[in-house]
A and B are shown apart, each in its own frame.
Chain A
Amino acid sequence: MAGVVIIGAGLGGLRVAETLRASGYAGEVTIVGDEIHLPYNRPPLSKEALAGGVEVADLEFRRKAHVDDVTWKLGSPAVTSSLKEGTVTLADGTVLQFDALAVAAGIRPRRLPIPGPQAGRVVLRTAEDARELRAALLPGAKVLIMGAGFIGCEVAATARKVDCEVNIVALDAEPMIRPLGAELGAGMRRRHEANGVNFHLGRTITSFNGTDRVESATLDDGTVLAADIVVEAVGSMANVEWLDGNGLDLGDGLSVDDAMIVEGTTNVVAVGDIARHHNALFSGPKRRIEHWNMPTETGKRAGQTLAALLAGAEVSQAPFSAMPSFWSDQYSHKIQSFGMPGNATRIEIVSGTPDEACIAEYFDESGLVGVIGIDKTSELAPYRKLLMERG
């Protein structure tokens, strides 16, 4: 059995398979997932699914009829590979032969080596992670969140909704400062504080304390915070170790060309969180973009590339162009972004203030590179149009 092997049964892998079929590829397609689940939607894991009442089956993506004939190999991650031999070996010992390979293996939460008990330290990436955390989010539970990015802040909002005590410890000066900037970040911090969250910013955790499991954490200024559960949301790592030994640069995901073909290969594509690509809408170096909409954008392009490749047709090298976008729900507030606000050297609040509904424009030397609205979704469309015209 050869055909196309897709490593990763998330949104990116699903989109590659759908596009292969939609583009006329009729050969074998095998999708390998490290989790036991069919592709499901992760954003609700820090929100509705964490507050209760949503199971993983409710989160499964709609699977189009034309992917009914793909083979799913779920519950066993890829562990090694030989691109030269055209093989991938899974943890259960299965060796899969491929004509073409799609890398859609995604990312996993980074863990920091902090001394002290490990029990009681959790991350949030999978449905199982969400289930474990949900069981700990009882009224009055002391929840300590490491990291003030989107996941940390969304978990904080959800935990407050179920009446937990919430502390956030982060090195950053404000929550979500990298994408939002300091002013909007401070506005969101004040919303969290008004909802009862305590921030410890510019701080790190030096040790966890407790006998069998975490009971408290000591910060670098000596503060001790009681904790029943610790949620670690301090960034991510690309799942690329299984590609080791193939001469690829695995330092920051995988570098791909405009067709999503991995640099140094002819029959391997990468998509989603781990694909480092150019974007015709924004200048600068290749970047990995960990936004929800990118697996669809890159997955569709990679599917077209593989279909052409396997049909012996010419692969389009037209510039890759996609509008990065993210969303976040915290309490009753909605943050929405278009473009690359994190690249900005200048930020201008053009409507409202950071403490109410507002819109901020983000600029670099090339002009407008991004826009973020808080509770202003309906007014962002003209900005998206302006940003699209950069290409």
Chain B
Amino acid sequence: MIKVTIDMDKCQHYGQCCFEAPDVFSLDDAGHIVYVAEVADDRRDDVESAADVCPMQAIEIS
């Protein structure tokens, strides 16, 4: 499993991650990021891409 964490002090809810891995990251009705904290290993490429495109570099993967 891949562990996904968003540093909420950095996150500005721009939602760029949602376009790369929509099954992991999404915006709720209030415009706040919600995400799945544990995802299957075969989702690594898209989760890495989501971390790459975050303007605030708030996404950590382990």
- A residues at B contact (CB < 8 Å): 15, 41, 43-44, 59, 61-62, 64, 292-293, 296, 325, 327, 329, 334, 336, 377-378, 380-381, 384
**Distance of A57 Cα from B48 Cα, bound (Å):** 21
- A336 with B14, Cβ < 8 A, contacts A62-B60, A384-B19 known: yes
Question: Do residues A377 and B30 form an inter-chain contact, with CB atoms below 8 A?
Answer: no
**Distance of A61 Cα from B60 Cα, bound (Å):** 11
**Distance of A329 Cα from B13 Cα, bound (Å):** 11
Question: Do residues A43 and B30 form an inter-chain contact, with CB atoms below 8 A?
Answer: no
Question: Do residues A325 and B57 form an inter-chain contact, with CB atoms below 8 A?
Answer: no
| A-chain residues with CB within 8 Å of residue B16 when the two chains form the complex | 293, 325
User: How many interface contacts (CB-CB < 8 Å) are there between A and B?
Assistant: 44
Q: How far is the CB of A46 from chain B (nearest CB, A)?
A: 13
* CB contact list, B30-53 vs A, under 8 A: 30-31, 48, 51-53
- B residues at A contact (CB < 8 Å): 12-16, 18-19, 27-31, 48, 51-53, 55-57, 60
| A-chain residues with CB within 8 Å of residue B51 when the two chains form the complex | 62
Question: Do residues B31 and A296 form an inter-chain contact, with CB atoms below 8 A?
Answer: no
| A-chain residues with CB within 8 Å of residue B12 when the two chains form the complex | 327, 329, 334
| B-chain residues with CB within 8 Å of residue A64 when the two chains form the complex | 48
Q: How far is the CB of A141 from chain B (nearest CB, A)?
A: 27
Q: Which of B15, B27, B53, B55 has the most CB of A within 10 A?
A: B55
Q: How far is the CB of B49 from chain A (nearest CB, A)?
A: 9
| B-chain residues with CB within 8 Å of residue A334 when the two chains form the complex | 12, 14
**Distance of A381 Cα from B14 Cα, bound (Å):** 11
Question: Do residues B57 and A41 form an inter-chain contact, with CB atoms below 8 A?
Answer: yes
**Distance of A325 Cα from B19 Cα, bound (Å):** 12
Q: Which of B18, B29, B52 has the most CB of A within 10 A?
A: B52
Question: Do residues A43 and B55 form an inter-chain contact, with CB atoms below 8 A?
Answer: yes
Nearest B-chain residue to A64, judged by Cβ: B48
Nearest A-chain residue to B45, judged by Cβ: A22
Question: Do residues B57 and A381 form an inter-chain contact, with CB atoms below 8 A?
Answer: no
Q: How far is the CB of A255 from chain B (nearest CB, A)?
A: 26
- A378 with B15, Cβ < 8 A, contacts A61-B57, A62-B60 known: yes
Question: Do residues A381 and B55 form an inter-chain contact, with CB atoms below 8 A?
Answer: no
Question: Do residues B27 and A377 form an inter-chain contact, with CB atoms below 8 A?
Answer: yes
Question: Do residues B55 and A378 form an inter-chain contact, with CB atoms below 8 A?
Answer: no
**Distance of A374 Cα from B8 Cα, bound (Å):** 21
- A292 with B55, Cβ < 8 A, contacts A334-B12, A378-B31 known: yes
Q: Which of A15, A293, A296, A377 has the most CB of B within 10 A?
A: A377
17 inter-chain pairs at a CB distance below 8 angstroms, sorted by A residue, are A15-B52, A59-B57, A61-B57, A62-B60, A64-B48, A293-B53, A293-B55, A296-B53, A327-B12, A334-B14, A336-B14, A377-B31, A378-B27, A378-B29, A378-B30, A381-B27, A384-B19
